[in-house]
A and B are shown apart, each in its own frame.
Chain A
Amino acid sequence: MGAAIVLALVVAPEDADQGLSQRIFYIHVPIALTAYFCFGLGAWKALLLLWRRDSRYDLESYVAIHQGTIFGALTLVTGSIWAKASWGVWWTWDSNQLVLFLVLFLFYCAYFMLRFSLEDGPRRARSSAVYALFGIVLVPISFLAIRLAEDFIHPTVFTREGPQMTGTMFAAFCVSWAAVTFLAYVLYRVELAGKRLDADLRELREALAP
């Protein structure tokens, strides 16, 4: 895991040649994509939970969304730094992706509030799963809404020129993406293992000391 990250850090910036701040791209975009992927995974596990009624999907869905929220927060931070570097402001409502992530971040924070407020049990698992499904549907709808909102909030539509990726840049991007995805996967497994161990231990304790 560490090797992959070091590789991404060393290899990726080497290839960029359009100003140093452009290199944030190599960490910002993979993190954003990974966050989407985690949210998608969480929704998929939620769907499986509702479908198969197997309670182990609850924990998997929760952990995936937890990962997604961490990566979403990182997307906001790196995006904000990138905005400061290239446009001179810490926050801009011009960037659709950033605004979308803010909405999603709020949404998934509410997901955690929902979980902490309900009693542990199948009902909480199902409510959380339904909310997670709403989240994944909210992504395209919000994206569309933010696109539409640009028309009246900013009459001049902001177009950011997509970076013209050369072969090496694209390769560096792919390496970073793979590294971040791998990082997310490892964190997901570690957290899931920890949570399962925790639950098992609690059960064991109850079995031993009635």
Chain B
Amino acid sequence: MSGGEYLALAYGAVFVVVLAYVAIIAAKLARLQRETREILDLARAQEAPARTVEHVAREISPSA
């Protein structure tokens, strides 16, 4: 191989590693996003019953 090819190989190797790293980070970001959504759903689910009780209470109170 010529010097130029080795040069390309060296820069290419660095590029590939950085690319792989970025891909891993991207995958991780996607996972974090999914988890955030799950937790958000969880939080909403916990809030929802409380709101219905409030809602019902407000519905009842004018009649009482």
Check A-B contact in the complex, CB < 8 A.
yes
How many A-B pairs fall under 8 Å by CB? 71
B13 contacts the other chain (CB 8 A): yes
Given contacts A194-B29, A197-B32, contact A183 B18 (CB under 8 A): yes
* B10/A82 in contact, CB under 8 A: yes
Q: Is the CB of B39 within 8 A of A78?
A: no
With an 8 Å Cβ cutoff, the count of chain B residues facing the other chain is 25
The residues of B that contact A38 with a CB separation of less than 8 Å are: none
Interface pick from A16-24, A119-127, A141-149, A167-175: A16-24
**Range of interface residues on A (Cβ < 8 Å):** 20 to 34
1/0 contact string of B38-60 vs chain A (CB within 8 Å):
11001100100000000000000
**Across the interface, which residues of B come within 8 angstroms of A114, CB to CB?**
none
- Kindly state whether residue B14 has any CB partner on chain A within 8 Å: yes
Tell me the residues in window 1-52 of chain B with beta carbons closer than 8 Å to chain A beta carbons: 1-4, 6-7, 9-11, 13-14, 17-18, 21, 25, 28-29, 32, 35-36, 38-39, 42-43, 46
Instruction: Give the contact stretch, choosing among A69-77, A95-103, A158-166.
Output: A69-77
Chain A residues within 8 Å of B36, by CB? 201
Contact surface of B with A, Cβ cutoff 8 Å: 1-4, 6-7, 9-11, 13-14, 17-18, 21, 25, 28-29, 32, 35-36, 38-39, 42-43, 46
